[in-house]
Chain A
Amino acid sequence: MKLRTTKYFIKEGTSNLRRNKVMSVASITSVIAALLVIGIFFIVVLNVDYAASALESQVEISVHLVNGLSEGIINAMSGEIEAIEGVKEVVFVSKDVALKNMKQKLGDKGYLLDGLESDNPLPDTFVVTLTNPQKASSVALALNSMSSIEKVSYGKDELEKLLKATYVLRMTSLLIITILLFISIFIISNTIKLTVFARRREIGIMKFIGATDWFVRGPFIVEGILLGVTGAVVSTALLGGGYLYTVNLIQKQMLGFLALSFMPFGSIITSLAFLLVFVGIVIGAIGSLLSVRRFIKV
């Protein structure tokens, strides 16, 4: 496509918008509303994912061993556990080390544990980290079938709840986002239909003096994309401002530990802007293509 043709498309597309001011503003407003909801879902999903992956990376299985195993057996077991599918790392924590760790945690109350060294009630333990939290139950099963193991424990219920919740959240937002996309395409297409209708005579003239379909469509596609992108820019700005404000508010309310698990503003705003502008371009283009379809067949 030639540069001056692009210029012509942009000139005509923007003049379509101006000629059709009221409808253009109305449809940008609707696009903003739709993109705001899409953006909110996006932010929530991103943050839940962020929190979930932070939690997921902490998932570890602790394996309590029966008392009095020899170093040879422990080494052999460690090798055996490492060989289980889904295991990333196995760290052995002897009962002596475990006691020391506990003492350290208690700080100046550590004296409470004095005298336990000779009759340490804590078990020897393997701390097993996983390549993927989804593997937790199968690894736990394999561990349970090994001998010399007293107890296998991990935050099973919490983890499963979290995984299920993120799944449900993702699916719901996908559904709602799809519906909203269709609505926005419908709104844009109806706005442009008005321009197309107003210019149907002109379209007919263009066609019989030999304009290609793409040449006829060009200005309307520009019009649609401008509607979509304007909506995207405004909603990105609103969402960005809203996000900063909310995160700040939560931090001020002494809920600092919550804010810790929010995604940093910088990384969320760029992906949000890219997403919404992309969505704006796509719905604008599709909406305009739908609206010219009927009139171009001359």
Chain B
Amino acid sequence: MIELVKVNKTFDDGHKVLKNINIFIDKGEFVFLVGPSGSGKSTLIKLLLKEVEPTNGKIVIDGKNTTKLKRNDIPYLRRSMGVVFQDFRLLQDKTVYENVAFAMEIVEAQPRDIRKQVPIALSMVGLSKKSNLYPKQLSGGEQQRVSLARAMVNGPSILVADEPTGNLDPEMSRDIVKILYEFNQRGTTVLMATHDRDIVNAMKKRVIAIEDGVMVRDEKRGGYFDEA
């Protein structure tokens, strides 16, 4: 569950990037966040991760008001959300397996849980056979699948993806969205910022559009453009 109430974000340089944003995303929803370049999509995702603080307003995640969170509690907020970025952000000197296991080592999981969960996560993204390769030896789509496995291996209730298909060709993009959809079917709330109109139009999921920092549309089963 994600809730933004009257959220504004003005950067130090006076740039108003988000204006009075009100969003409520229920548990298990699949939501696309669309809008032109520079409209504030990434900033909104950074607010959820507490990489950026809202100027005012309230952000509630899993029932917790994150605006009141102390610095030491931020890691635990981030553990409740899986995150995927356009540029994959994998560790180049670790294998596929090690990259995914690392997310569990960081939260000090039991080694026997790591040995059990990592192969499961890798099979969910279809990479069981490539677990000993390094990111350099993978295609972009495969790298993004590794980062999806890493985001999901600790079983977060929310998955946030900032243009996960931004660097991928249409075919690979469809694979990634298919995996996101599978995660969603298993109960994970998914929020995906994207420019990919084909995907948005094909999925017929909830669409939230922002333009110039203002929320201009929130449709239950929407397309990339406003059809009304």
Contact = CB atoms under 8 A, between A and B. Distances in A.
Interface of A: 2, 4-5, 8, 201-202, 204-213, 215, 298
A2 B49 CA distance: 26
Contact of A202 (B75, B78, B91): B91
Given A210-B76, A298-B51, 7 more contacts: A4-B105, A204-B89, A207-B75, A209-B150, A210-B78, A210-B79, A213-B72
Given A205-B89, A205-B91, A298-B51, A211 B106 contact: yes
Interface string B56-78: 00000000000000001001101
A202 to B, nearest CB: 6
Contact of A210 (B72, B91, B107, B111): B107
Contacts of B83: 208-209
A17 B160 CA distance: 36
A242 B102 CA distance: 48
A8 B89 contact: no
A207 B150 CA distance: 14
Interface string B161-193: 000000000000000000000000000000000
B78 A4 contact: no
B108 interface: yes
A8 B150 CA distance: 19
Interface residues of B, number: 21
Contact of A208 (B76, B78, B90, B105): B78
30 contacts: A2-B108, A4-B105, A4-B108, A5-B108, A8-B105, A204-B89, A205-B89, A205-B90, A205-B91, A206-B106, A208-B49, A208-B51, A208-B78, A208-B83, A209-B78, A209-B79, A209-B83, A209-B102, A209-B103, A209-B106, A209-B150, A209-B151, A210-B75, A210-B103, A210-B106, A210-B107, A210-B154, A211-B75, A213-B72, A213-B75
Contacts of A205: 89-91
Contacts of A5: 108
Residue picked from A4, A202, A206, A211, most chain B C-beta under 10 Å? A211
Contacts of B76: 210
B106 A215 contact: yes
The winner among A209, A212, A215, A298 for most chain B CB atoms within 10 A is A209
B151 to A, nearest CB: 8
Interface string B95-109: 000000011011110
A4 B111 CA distance: 9
Nearest to B77: A210
B161 to A, nearest CB: 13
Interface in B99-136: 102-103, 105-108, 111
A205 to B, nearest CB: 5
Nearest to B71: A213
Contacts of B91: 202, 205
A46 to B, nearest CB: 43
Nearest to B83: A208
A15 B4 CA distance: 43
Nearest to A297: B71
Contacts of A204: 89
Contacts of B89: 201, 204-205, 208
A205 B108 CA distance: 16
Contacts of B105: 4, 8
Contacts of B102: 209
A8 B79 CA distance: 20
B192 to A, nearest CB: 17
A218 B160 CA distance: 28
A199 to B, nearest CB: 10
Nearest to B51: A298
A102 to B, nearest CB: 78
A201 B135 CA distance: 15
Contacts of A201: 89
Contacts of A207: 75, 78
Q: Which among B75, B79, B91 has the greatest number of chain A C-beta atoms within 10 A?
A: B75
B98 to A, nearest CB: 12
Nearest to B94: A202
A187 B69 CA distance: 36
B109 to A, nearest CB: 10
B107 to A, nearest CB: 6
Given A2-B108, A4-B111, A205-B91, A212 B78 contact: no
A184 B86 CA distance: 42
